[in-house]
Amino acid sequence: MNILLLIYAANNILLGLGGLFVPARTVPVENPPAIALSLMQSMGAFAIATGVLAWLARGIEDINALRAITLVFILATAINAVVLIISIRNGARNSSEWIFVGVDVVFAAAFFYFRSKL
């Protein structure tokens, strides 16, 4: 569980930093409108926050707290995967972004597995 939380933390913090500080490079369209950049920065801040939560959760020994945190991570990654699938199928994102769907599905499955072992 600690390794999963560490990987999730690193993933979210790094992606969040990109969204927060260089949103134009992380939005999947050319010359994005200001609202898209603002939304990307907001998503970056959220990703950093969940990454920090995952980082801090590595030291939690309370099973109920870990179960609650992993439930939140399962929901967040599963919902994000669904949103990505919808946006890829609608043409809002290109097909190369299926990798992000895969990453979210793997995280959701891993958190579900470890949550079931708690």
* Domain membership of residue 83 as a residue range: 2-117
Which runs of consecutive H residues, i.e. helices, occur in 22-118?
23-26, 34-57, 63-89, 98-117
Kindly tell me if the per-residue pLDDT of 18 is higher than 90. Answer: yes
Torsion angle of the four alpha carbons 41, 39, 32, 9, in this order, in degrees rounded to the nearest 10 = 50
Instruction: Using alpha carbons, select from 105, 48, 57, 97 the residue that is nearest to residue 80.
Output: 105
Quote the number of domains for the chain: 1
Q: What is the pTM of this model?
A: 0.89
> For residue 81, how many other CB atoms are within 10 A of its CB?
19
Kindly tell me if the per-residue pLDDT of 31 is higher than 90. Answer: no
**What's the pLDDT band for 43 if we cut at 50, 70, 90?**
very high
pLDDT of 29 reads 74
